[in-house]
Amino acid sequence: MPPIINLVLLLAGAYLLGSIPFGVLVARSRGVDLLKVGSGNIGATNVGRTLGRKWGILVFVLDLLKGAVPVYLGKWLVLHDAEFVAWQPIPQLAAVGTAVCAFLGHTFPIFLKFQGGKGVATGFGTMLVLLTGPDFFAILIWVVALLASSIVSFASVVAMIAFMAGYTISVDGRPFAFENILTSLYCYIGCSMVIVKHHANIRRLLAGTENCMKPSFRRERINYAFHLLALGWLFGGTLFLQFIAGLSVFETFPDVVENSPSDRTAQVAIANGLSAEQKKALGSALAGAAVGPMFPKYFLCSAIAATVALISARGWRSKEKLNRIQLGLLVVTFLLVCGNWWIAGEVSRLRLERFAADAETAARAKENFTSWHLVSLLLSMLTCLTATISLICAAWTAPEKAQMDVGQLPKAA
């Protein structure tokens, strides 16, 4: 079969699968017309609010699968059809095309006169296969935002913003490079559509009248656990990598070079004929090679932790002075982590320029490298300090069951 026919059939199938209104069908099996109860929406939130949590979870999973399955088939076609791969004019055409059609099927289903849902679960399903890393990040943020606010619509909007940010980072800030263009358009347009679909919810959020879950001490404690874990990473991760592991490596490698051959060099002589200055430079370079690959992962994890800590902070919904102080500290911590991440990229670039063939370029890079490296260490110290104070504030203001009255939380629907 010609590749174009395969693609058309795949896209049509993705749209039809996406159009299946699982929420309506599940509700109808329980004797309920979902379009006439609650918010009138066909998604999992309205099902859960109308029929109960287990039915809402079932519909969420089904809506997620109707997004994931077509994209998986699209990726399978690319992997197993050499003729299609040779014909495909743009990278990821089949995978992104099926994702778009499944998403549009849910939001504009042919079976419901094109009046569909908001696309959160189906969109997550498509991205779970297409962009697994950013999708898991968005799901984490959705969970934390829901625990912190008790408002599903708020969590969904925040998760869409988090997904777009996570995706942009995952492609090294080059979303509109040719190999990324289709995926980027789907990501940004799809997430924007989900946010626009929540326009009524956003108006109610701003007015303070949005539906929310009933107050729950268990949910508050889980949110507090996420908060402490995030702060623990910001404190412990920064302290260990920057000031324990990093310094230890840079202290150890020059000695390893100086004393080679030894058990640390597998009895291989790695410094024969080198001057003392060359040995020192080699030790420093090897230490940098050992530590360097850790920093991109460290800053990614720190940015995630700072985001989780900020969203889960009690200062958003508490007027207590200590909670508000901690919220301000967390904003500063988030900015410190993001700024230090950018500076780390500059340090990596300057590290390479130090060995440029042009002597003037190399000298300038060495000078700037030292300055930026010191700035990075200073920001790491400040991150450690703000995370430490935030941890103390969090411990001091731990949620207690006696505090869980309705007046401290959004009104339940």
Categorize the per-residue pLDDT at 7 as very low, low, confident or very high, splitting at 50, 70 and 90. confident
pTM comes to 0.82
Residues of the chain with pLDDT > 90: what percent? 43
What pLDDT is recorded for position 306?
A: 96
Is 274's pLDDT higher than 90? no
Is 266's pLDDT higher than 80? yes
Mean pLDDT for 143-152 is: 92
For helices 294-311 and 217-240, the axis angle rounded to 10 degrees is: 150
Is 402's pLDDT higher than 60? no
**Between 216 and 298, residue with greater pLDDT:** 298
Look at the block and give the residue holding tokens 């080699």. Answer: 282
What pLDDT is recorded for position 57?
A: 93
Mean pLDDT for 114-121 is: 86
For residues 373 and 347, is the Cβ–Cβ distance under 8 A? yes
Mean pLDDT for 38-48 is: 86
Supply the DSSP symbol for 130: H
Distances (CA, A) of 201 to 34, 150, 189: 18, 14, 19
Burial classification of residue 285, based on how many CB atoms lie within 10 Å of its CB (0-12 exposed, 13-18 middle, 19 or more buried): middle
pLDDT tens sequence across 168-223: 999 988 899 888 888 999 999 989 988 998 999 999 999 888 888 888 888 999 99
Distances (CA, A) of 171 to 53, 243, 408: 36, 30, 41
What pLDDT is recorded for position 270?
A: 86
- What's the whole-number average pLDDT of the chain? 88
pLDDT tens sequence across 183-196: 999 999 989 988 99
What pLDDT is recorded for position 79?
A: 65
Look at the block and give the residue holding tokens 């505090």. Answer: 403
**Alpha-helical segments (H) within 319-358:** 321-353
Q: Kindly tell me the sign of the dihedral angle through the C-alpha atoms of 173, 329, 295, 134.
A: negative
Domain boundaries, the chain: 3-213, 218-408
CB neighbour list of residue 379: distance below 8 Å, 6 or more residues apart = 336, 339, 340, 343
